[in-house]
């Protein structure tokens, strides 16, 4: 393996060019490749053996040095002198009237045998066996594990007698983690293979022959192609440069190197990481990432200032007051028309005929308008040429200020005084001029003129029909995903209608959508079927149910609505102790009334396919914490969960489980089936199959009889 690329012989006018060599036949090339593969493998095994022997020799040397140093000898002598005396406490007969003596001998020669009293210990019952788990208080969605991280150990009996199970288990996965089927070749070995070259690296920059890299790539294909190995080899030859620093990936939006970017780019990280369903950054429960058109503006526009805020206010500009009055008049007329019934087909009303004629010359498009301002019509404001141009030339805007203005303009629109206060480095006159330059001043459009369409009477609301369907097929429960089909009503093609789910507040359909759940108007506790939310197996939504108490302050200890316990986390105090039935059990510390919420069954949120793969292993362990959530997901409390996971099975339970829709998420609640006393163990029905039920019911009856 010492072959390197050699330079071709020099050619000149006095030299006779040699005839080109004929190409080698294919059989010779294949034999050469096999020979190189054999040489690479033998050299690799030699290097591995050499490395193993070197490591073993280092261990021997360090072990020898450890016992031959003076400090080790001194500490050992001190330890021997200290413990050569009596290590056991002598108990006199006056302390223990009747005792037996026993002799204690030590393996160290300087230690003398000693006689000490014998203390018998009573038998202590062992605590039940438990697998390790991580506590959590909310469901945690995880990805499918397509690779088996490790072969589970289930005892020598399973490994010896049930080999078919292990083969079937491995077949269910794409492979086993770390099992590549070929020996692992570290890059240090690659470098050692090439360091065997006799040429000097400091003076010679030649790269080994391509045959070497081709043979290594064919022997270890997962390490890369021939070109990739050559590139990695060049990187190993280059000396490290400590001065070189990695470039900045994305400059700070308000840093000194900030660039002037559009609003979508500035808010991209916030839109991507922030979950609008649970109001958290980097949500671990909802894989759905909202698109920019999800963030629609639902609140009214902030009212513009009518009085100048100072000497440099934009209202002192020529034509600014007329612009403000016109904008306020349009906003008032738009709000009045919005109160009237409107058709559900249009998602954004268009301008009237007069407005269309008036805005034809001024209408321009802008790239920074997005979902929450897409119903706004951009207008260009003409600032006086005599005043605007000199001011615009002397006022400089940094990239951070321009980006911040575009972000704030999507919220405050034409309220330039408020935008200037938030920017802090510019007055509202400069903000007004920059907005005119950016062509970002928006006016609120008017609804189409004419008679507003009359509201059609709905004889039977669509959500009631879906509820009737659910009563007929209660087992078909699908996960909810917000629908988003602009300019199209929720009909049979809507994902929510197809999965028999209600449209929630997170959907992008109109608020007048017939598939939207209206909430309840209860005045009582919402714990009977007279409440529409309770009847639909939903918790009351604080944004929809305004009269039952679900919208009360979050810190309120006394809530009149009894159908919002899961989302508020109003769980009971649970205790973990050895069970009278099997293993560990869950006990309650306080008395509970019938149908009262006890706790939520939490765990990892996994797919049905992943649950099938894990269930095969759990069945062998005879311990499973899988709980079916809907047709798409399963809650697995084996690795992560809360204390309710230890509640045992019973055919006569004192609790029952119920899957409830809570703000668009299916969650499992454990409720009291009857009045439960303090300190009582909790049981609920696992809904075993007939074969498993007979086995577990027999154990339960035997325990009850004893």
Q: How many whole angstroms separate alpha carbon 633 and alpha carbon 630? A: 6
Q: How many whole angstroms separate alpha carbon 3 and alpha carbon 242? A: 33
The pLDDT score that the predictor gives to residue 71 is 64
Q: Which residue has the higher pLDDT, 237 or 136?
A: 136
DSSP, residue by residue, 644-706: GGGPEE-SS-SEEEEEEEETTEEEEEEEESS-B-TTPBPEE-----HHHHHHHHHHHHHHHH-
Is pLDDT above 80 for 595?
A: yes
The pLDDT score that the predictor gives to residue 70 is 60
Average pLDDT over residues 676-698: 75
Average pLDDT over residues 660-669: 92
* Of 317-326, 428-437, 520-529, minimum mean pLDDT range: 317-326
Instruction: Please state, in angstroms and as integers, the Cα–Cα distance from residue 691 to each residue in 481, 694, 696, following that order.
Output: 37, 6, 9
**Which residues are paired to 192 by β-bridges?**
none
Q: Which residue has the higher pLDDT, 369 or 402?
A: 402
Mapping DSSP onto H, E and C, the string for 316-361 reads HCCCHHHHHHHHHHHHHHHHHHHHCCCCCCCCCCCCCHHHHHHHCC
Chain centroid offset of residue 244 CA: 34
The pLDDT score that the predictor gives to residue 656 is 92
Question: In which band, very low, low, confident or very high, does the pLDDT at 677 lie, cut at 50, 70 and 90?
Answer: very high
Domains in the chain, ordered, with CATH?
31-68+183-238 (no CATH), 258-301+310-451 (no CATH), 565-705 (2.170.270.10)
Is pLDDT above 90 for 524?
A: no
Q: Which two tokens stand for residue 253?
A: 């939006």
* Of 11-20, 145-154, 617-626, minimum mean pLDDT range: 11-20
Instruction: Please state, in angstroms and as integers, the Cα–Cα distance from residue 259 to each residue in 263, 367, 369, 400, 466, following that order.
Output: 12, 17, 19, 6, 51
Q: Which residue has the higher pLDDT, 632 or 448?
A: 632
Average pLDDT over residues 153-169: 72
Mean pLDDT of the chain: 72
Average pLDDT over residues 17-27: 53
294-317 pLDDT, tens digit per residue, is 555 555 556 666 777 777 787 777
Q: Which residue has the higher pLDDT, 95 or 113?
A: 113
Q: Which residue has the higher pLDDT, 446 or 189?
A: 189
Q: Which two tokens stand for residue 278?
A: 């649970």
The pLDDT score that the predictor gives to residue 573 is 94
600: how many CB neighbours lie within 10 A of its CB? 23
342-386 pLDDT, tens digit per residue, is 444 433 333 343 444 343 433 333 333 343 333 344 444 444 443
- Tokens 């996965």, located at residue: 173
The pLDDT score that the predictor gives to residue 472 is 44
Q: Which residue has the higher pLDDT, 166 or 25?
A: 166
The pLDDT score that the predictor gives to residue 388 is 42
The pLDDT score that the predictor gives to residue 452 is 40
436: how many CB neighbours lie within 10 A of its CB? 19
Average pLDDT over residues 451-464: 44
Q: Which long-range contacts (CB under 8 A, 24 or more apart) does 188-194 make?
A: 189/44, 189/47, 189/48, 189/51, 190/216, 190/223, 190/229, 190/232, 190/233, 191/233, 191/236, 192/47, 193/1, 193/40, 193/43, 193/44, 193/47, 194/233
Average pLDDT over residues 422-437: 84
Is pLDDT above 80 for 4?
A: no
Average pLDDT over residues 326-336: 60
Average pLDDT over residues 334-345: 49
Of 678, 467, 672, whose CA–CA distance to 562 is shortest?
Answer: 672
The pLDDT score that the predictor gives to residue 703 is 44
The pLDDT score that the predictor gives to residue 444 is 39
Average pLDDT over residues 516-521: 90
251-260 pLDDT, tens digit per residue, is 677 777 788 8
The pLDDT score that the predictor gives to residue 135 is 92
The pLDDT score that the predictor gives to residue 333 is 58
The pLDDT score that the predictor gives to residue 670 is 93
Average pLDDT over residues 597-602: 93
Average pLDDT over residues 92-117: 70
Is pLDDT above 90 for 587?
A: yes
Q: How many whole angstroms separate alpha carbon 557 and alpha carbon 400? A: 45
Q: Are strands 274-275 and 100-104 parallel, antiparallel or unpaired?
A: unpaired
Q: Which two tokens stand for residue 215?
A: 């043979």
180: how many CB neighbours lie within 10 A of its CB? 12
pTM greater than 0.75: no
Give 282's contacts (C-beta < 8 A, 6+ positions apart): 273
Q: How many whole angstroms separate alpha carbon 406 and alpha carbon 270? A: 15
Chain centroid offset of residue 552 CA: 30
């Amino acid at each position: 393996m010492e072959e390197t690329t050699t330079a071709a012989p020099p050619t000149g006018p006095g030299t006779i060019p040699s005839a080109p060599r004929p190409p080698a036949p294919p059989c010779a090339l294949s034999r050469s490749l096999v020979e190189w593969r054999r040489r690479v493998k033998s050299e690799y095994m030699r290097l591995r053996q050499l490395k193993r022997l070197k490591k073993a020799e280092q261990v021997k040397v360090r072990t020898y040095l450890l016992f031959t140093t003076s400090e080790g000898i001194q500490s050992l002598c001190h330890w021997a002198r200290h413990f050569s005396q009596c290590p056991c406490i002598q108990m006199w007969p006056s302390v223990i009237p009747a005792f037996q003596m026993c002799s204690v001998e030590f393996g160290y020669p300087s230690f003398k045998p000693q006689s000490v009293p014998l203390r018998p210990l009573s038998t202590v019952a062992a605590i039940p066996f438990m697998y390790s788990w991580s506590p959590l208080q909310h469901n945690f969605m995880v990805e499918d594990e397509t690779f088996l991280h490790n072969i589970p150990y289930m005892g020598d009996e399973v490994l010896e007698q049930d080999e078919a199970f292990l083969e079937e288990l491995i077949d269910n996965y794409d492979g086993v983690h770390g099992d590549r089927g070929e020996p692992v070749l570290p890059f240090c070995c690659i470098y050692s293979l090439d360091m065997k070259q006799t040429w000097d690296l400091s003076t010679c920059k030649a790269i080994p022959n391509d045959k070497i890299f081709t043979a290594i790539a064919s022997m270890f294909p997962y390490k890369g192609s021939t070109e990739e190995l050559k590139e990695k080899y060049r990187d190993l030859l280059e000396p490290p440069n400590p001065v070189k620093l990695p470039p900045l990936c994305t400059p700070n939006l308000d840093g000194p190197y900030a660039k002037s970017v559009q609003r979508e780019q500035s808010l991209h990280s916030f839109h991507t990481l922030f979950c609008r369903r649970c109001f958290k950054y980097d949500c671990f429960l909802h894989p759905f990432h909202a698109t920019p058109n999800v963030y629609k503006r639902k609140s009214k526009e902030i009212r513009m200032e009518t009085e100048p805020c100072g000497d440099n206010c934009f209202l002192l500009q020529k034509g600014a007051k007329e612009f403000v009055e016109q904008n306020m008049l349009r906003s008032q007329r738009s709000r009045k028309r919005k109160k009237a019934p409107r058709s559900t087909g249009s998602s954004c009303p268009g301008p009237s005929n007069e407005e269309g004629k008036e805005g034809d010359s001024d209408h321009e498009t802008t790239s920074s308008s997005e979902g929450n301002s897409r119903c706004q019509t951009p207008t260009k404001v003409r600032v006086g040429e005599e005043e605007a141009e000199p001011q615009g030339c002397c006022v400089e805007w940094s990239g951070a200020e321009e980006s911040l203005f575009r972000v704030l303009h999507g919220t405050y629109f034409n309220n330039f005084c408020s935008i200037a206060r938030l920017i802090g480095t510019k007055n509202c006159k400069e903000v007004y001029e920059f907005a005119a330059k950016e062509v970002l001043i928006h006016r609120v459009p008017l609804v189409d003129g004419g008679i507003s369409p009359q509201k059609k009477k709905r004889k039977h609301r669509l959500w009631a029909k879906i509820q009737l369907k659910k009563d007929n097929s209660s087992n078909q429960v699908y996960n909810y995903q917000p629908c988003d089909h602009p300019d199209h009503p929720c009909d049979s093609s809507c994902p929510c209608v197809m999965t028999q789910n209600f449209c929630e507040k997170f959907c992008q359909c109109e608020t007048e959508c017939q598939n939207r759940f209206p909430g309840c108007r209860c005045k009582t506790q919402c714990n009977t079927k007279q409440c529409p939310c309770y009847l639909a197996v939903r918790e009351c939504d604080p944004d929809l149910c305004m009269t039952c108490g679900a919208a009360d302050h979050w810190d309120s200890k006394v809530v009149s609505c009894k159908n919002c316990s899961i989302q508020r986390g109003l769980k009971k105090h649970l205790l973990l102790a050895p069970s009278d039935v099997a293993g560990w059990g869950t006990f309650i510390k306080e008395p509970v009334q019938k149908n009262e919420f006890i706790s939520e069954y939490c765990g990892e949120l996994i797919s049905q396919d992943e649950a099938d793969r894990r269930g095969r292993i759990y069945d062998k362990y005879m311990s499973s914490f899988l709980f079916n959530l809907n047709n798409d997901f399963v809650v697995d409390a084996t690795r992560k969960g809360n204390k309710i996971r230890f509640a045992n099975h019973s055919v006569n339970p004192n609790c029952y489980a119920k899957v409830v829709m809570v703000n668009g998420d299916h969650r499992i609640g454990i409720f009291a089936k009857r009045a439960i006393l303090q300190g009582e163990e909790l049981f609920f029905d696992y809904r075993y199959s007939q074969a498993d039920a007979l086995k577990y019911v027999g154990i339960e009856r035997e325990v009850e009889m004893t």
